[in-house]
Amino acid sequence: MAGIDESLEFKPVTAAVLTVSDTRTRENDTSGDILQARIEEAGHKVLGREIVRDTIEGVQAQLKKWMDDPDIDVIISTGGTGLTGRDITVEAVTPLFDKVIDGFSVVFHQESFKTIGLSTLQSRACAGLAQGTIIFCLPGSNGAVKDGWDKVIAAQLDSRHRPCNMIDLMPRFGEM
Protein backbone atom coordinates (compact mmCIF):
# COMPACT_ATOMS: atom_id res chain seq x y z
CA MET A 1 0.00 0.00 0.00
CA ALA A 2 1.26 3.48 -0.83
CA GLY A 3 2.18 5.75 2.04
CA ILE A 4 4.62 6.14 4.90
CA ASP A 5 5.92 2.93 6.48
CA GLU A 6 6.63 3.98 10.08
CA SER A 7 8.72 0.84 10.66
CA LEU A 8 11.44 2.21 8.36
CA GLU A 9 14.17 4.69 9.24
CA PHE A 10 13.71 8.34 8.21
CA LYS A 11 16.76 9.64 6.31
CA PRO A 12 16.95 13.43 6.19
CA VAL A 13 18.21 15.23 3.12
CA THR A 14 19.87 18.60 2.75
CA ALA A 15 18.14 21.24 0.70
CA ALA A 16 18.52 24.73 -0.70
CA VAL A 17 15.65 27.14 -1.32
CA LEU A 18 15.76 29.62 -4.20
CA THR A 19 13.23 32.41 -4.62
CA VAL A 20 13.22 33.88 -8.13
CA SER A 21 11.79 37.39 -7.99
CA ASP A 22 12.46 41.02 -8.84
CA THR A 23 10.32 42.20 -5.92
CA ARG A 24 10.79 39.81 -2.99
CA THR A 25 13.16 40.49 -0.12
CA ARG A 26 13.91 38.41 2.99
CA GLU A 27 11.31 40.50 4.79
CA ASN A 28 8.46 39.69 2.36
CA ASP A 29 9.49 36.33 0.88
CA THR A 30 6.52 34.47 2.34
CA SER A 31 6.67 31.58 -0.15
CA GLY A 32 10.34 31.03 0.66
CA ASP A 33 9.53 31.19 4.39
CA ILE A 34 6.77 28.60 4.00
CA LEU A 35 8.97 26.30 1.96
CA GLN A 36 11.90 26.49 4.38
CA ALA A 37 9.64 25.91 7.38
CA ARG A 38 7.97 22.87 5.80
CA ILE A 39 11.30 21.34 4.77
CA GLU A 40 12.65 21.73 8.30
CA GLU A 41 9.41 20.56 9.94
CA ALA A 42 9.68 17.38 7.85
CA GLY A 43 13.08 16.70 9.44
CA HIS A 44 15.33 17.84 6.61
CA LYS A 45 17.99 20.55 6.77
CA VAL A 46 18.08 23.75 4.70
CA LEU A 47 21.73 24.58 3.97
CA GLY A 48 21.14 27.51 1.65
CA ARG A 49 18.51 30.09 0.88
CA GLU A 50 18.78 32.88 -1.65
CA ILE A 51 16.63 35.36 -3.54
CA VAL A 52 17.73 35.94 -7.14
CA ARG A 53 16.31 38.41 -9.63
CA ASP A 54 14.52 37.14 -12.72
CA THR A 55 17.52 36.68 -14.99
CA ILE A 56 18.59 33.44 -16.62
CA GLU A 57 22.23 34.12 -15.80
CA GLY A 58 21.54 34.86 -12.13
CA VAL A 59 19.33 31.82 -11.62
CA GLN A 60 21.78 29.51 -13.37
CA ALA A 61 24.74 30.87 -11.42
CA GLN A 62 23.05 30.19 -8.08
CA LEU A 63 21.82 26.75 -9.14
CA LYS A 64 25.27 25.74 -10.40
CA LYS A 65 26.83 26.85 -7.12
CA TRP A 66 24.47 24.58 -5.19
CA MET A 67 24.75 21.75 -7.74
CA ASP A 68 28.52 21.80 -7.23
CA ASP A 69 28.10 21.55 -3.45
CA PRO A 70 28.21 17.85 -2.50
CA ASP A 71 26.32 18.64 0.71
CA ILE A 72 23.15 19.75 -1.12
CA ASP A 73 20.83 16.96 -2.24
CA VAL A 74 17.78 18.93 -3.35
CA ILE A 75 17.07 22.43 -4.63
CA ILE A 76 13.53 23.79 -4.54
CA SER A 77 12.76 27.07 -6.24
CA THR A 78 9.72 29.26 -5.95
CA GLY A 79 8.70 31.86 -8.50
CA GLY A 80 9.28 32.55 -12.16
CA THR A 81 7.28 29.62 -13.55
CA GLY A 82 4.41 31.68 -14.98
CA LEU A 83 3.73 33.00 -18.46
CA THR A 84 4.90 36.62 -18.34
CA GLY A 85 8.05 37.93 -19.95
CA ARG A 86 9.88 38.09 -16.61
CA ASP A 87 9.05 34.46 -15.74
CA ILE A 88 12.33 32.80 -16.75
CA THR A 89 12.88 30.04 -14.19
CA VAL A 90 11.97 27.25 -16.59
CA GLU A 91 14.22 28.69 -19.31
CA ALA A 92 17.08 28.97 -16.80
CA VAL A 93 16.70 25.53 -15.25
CA THR A 94 15.80 23.15 -18.05
CA PRO A 95 19.12 23.47 -19.93
CA LEU A 96 20.83 22.28 -16.73
CA PHE A 97 18.73 19.11 -16.45
CA ASP A 98 20.38 15.79 -17.27
CA LYS A 99 16.95 14.18 -16.89
CA VAL A 100 13.49 15.73 -16.68
CA ILE A 101 11.14 14.36 -14.03
CA ASP A 102 8.05 14.61 -16.23
CA GLY A 103 5.73 13.06 -13.66
CA PHE A 104 6.30 15.92 -11.22
CA SER A 105 4.59 18.45 -13.45
CA VAL A 106 1.69 16.09 -14.11
CA VAL A 107 1.09 15.29 -10.45
CA PHE A 108 1.64 18.91 -9.36
CA HIS A 109 -1.01 20.08 -11.83
CA GLN A 110 -3.45 17.38 -10.69
CA GLU A 111 -3.09 18.54 -7.10
CA SER A 112 -3.10 22.23 -8.02
CA PHE A 113 -6.28 21.74 -10.05
CA LYS A 114 -8.04 20.59 -6.86
CA THR A 115 -7.12 23.92 -5.23
CA ILE A 116 -7.29 26.54 -8.00
CA GLY A 117 -9.04 24.79 -10.88
CA LEU A 118 -8.09 25.66 -14.45
CA SER A 119 -5.80 28.46 -13.27
CA THR A 120 -3.16 25.74 -12.84
CA LEU A 121 -2.65 26.01 -16.61
CA GLN A 122 -0.75 29.25 -16.00
CA SER A 123 2.05 27.40 -14.18
CA ARG A 124 5.05 25.74 -15.79
CA ALA A 125 6.15 23.91 -12.63
CA CYS A 126 8.89 21.43 -13.48
CA ALA A 127 11.54 19.17 -11.98
CA GLY A 128 14.65 17.32 -13.04
CA LEU A 129 18.04 15.93 -12.13
CA ALA A 130 21.14 18.02 -12.69
CA GLN A 131 24.56 16.64 -11.76
CA GLY A 132 22.86 14.25 -9.35
CA THR A 133 20.92 17.04 -7.61
CA ILE A 134 17.12 16.98 -7.61
CA ILE A 135 15.62 20.33 -8.61
CA PHE A 136 11.94 21.19 -8.17
CA CYS A 137 10.58 24.47 -9.55
CA LEU A 138 7.35 25.68 -7.98
CA PRO A 139 5.25 28.77 -8.69
CA GLY A 140 5.74 31.74 -6.38
CA SER A 141 2.37 31.80 -4.65
CA ASN A 142 2.02 30.60 -1.09
CA GLY A 143 -0.73 28.20 -2.13
CA ALA A 144 1.36 26.65 -4.89
CA VAL A 145 4.29 26.16 -2.52
CA LYS A 146 2.01 24.48 0.02
CA ASP A 147 0.43 22.24 -2.64
CA GLY A 148 3.81 21.40 -4.16
CA TRP A 149 5.47 20.52 -0.87
CA ASP A 150 2.57 19.01 1.05
CA LYS A 151 0.95 17.01 -1.72
CA VAL A 152 3.88 16.04 -3.95
CA ILE A 153 7.46 16.69 -2.87
CA ALA A 154 7.33 15.80 0.85
CA ALA A 155 6.40 12.15 0.28
CA GLN A 156 9.05 11.64 -2.39
CA LEU A 157 11.71 13.08 -0.06
CA ASP A 158 10.67 10.75 2.76
CA SER A 159 12.76 7.57 2.81
CA ARG A 160 9.85 5.72 4.44
CA HIS A 161 7.42 6.37 1.57
CA ARG A 162 6.32 3.22 -0.21
CA PRO A 163 6.30 1.71 -2.72
CA CYS A 164 9.25 3.95 -3.63
CA ASN A 165 10.80 7.37 -3.06
CA MET A 166 13.61 9.50 -4.46
CA ILE A 167 15.82 9.07 -1.39
CA ASP A 168 16.38 5.38 -2.15
CA LEU A 169 17.51 6.33 -5.67
CA MET A 170 19.89 9.16 -4.73
CA PRO A 171 23.05 7.03 -4.50
CA ARG A 172 22.45 5.91 -8.10
CA PHE A 173 21.82 9.32 -9.71
CA GLY A 174 25.42 9.53 -10.91
CA GLU A 175 25.45 6.14 -12.66
CA MET A 176 26.52 5.97 -16.26
Residue-by-residue pLDDT tens, the chain, 176 positions: 689 999 999 999 999 999 999 999 999 999 999 999 999 999 999 999 999 999 999 999 999 999 999 999 999 999 999 999 999 999 999 999 999 999 999 999 999 999 999 999 999 999 999 999 999 999 999 999 999 999 999 999 999 999 999 999 999 987 76
Residue 43 neighbours by CB distance under 10 Å: 12
Pairing between strand 14-20 and 74-78?
A: parallel
- For residue 32, the Cα-to-chain-centroid distance in whole angstroms is 11
Q: State how far the Cα of 50 lies from the Cα of 25, in Å rounded to an integer.
A: 10
pLDDT score of 126: 98
pLDDT score of 1: 62
> Could you give all domains of the chain from N- to C-terminal order, each with its CATH number?
19-168 (3.40.980.10)
pTM comes to: 0.96
Contacts of 102 (CB under 8 A, 6+ apart): none
pLDDT score of 152: 96
User: If you ran DSSP here, which 8-state letter would residue 10 be given?
Assistant: P
CB 56 within 8 A of CB 91: yes
CB 140 within 8 A of CB 18: no
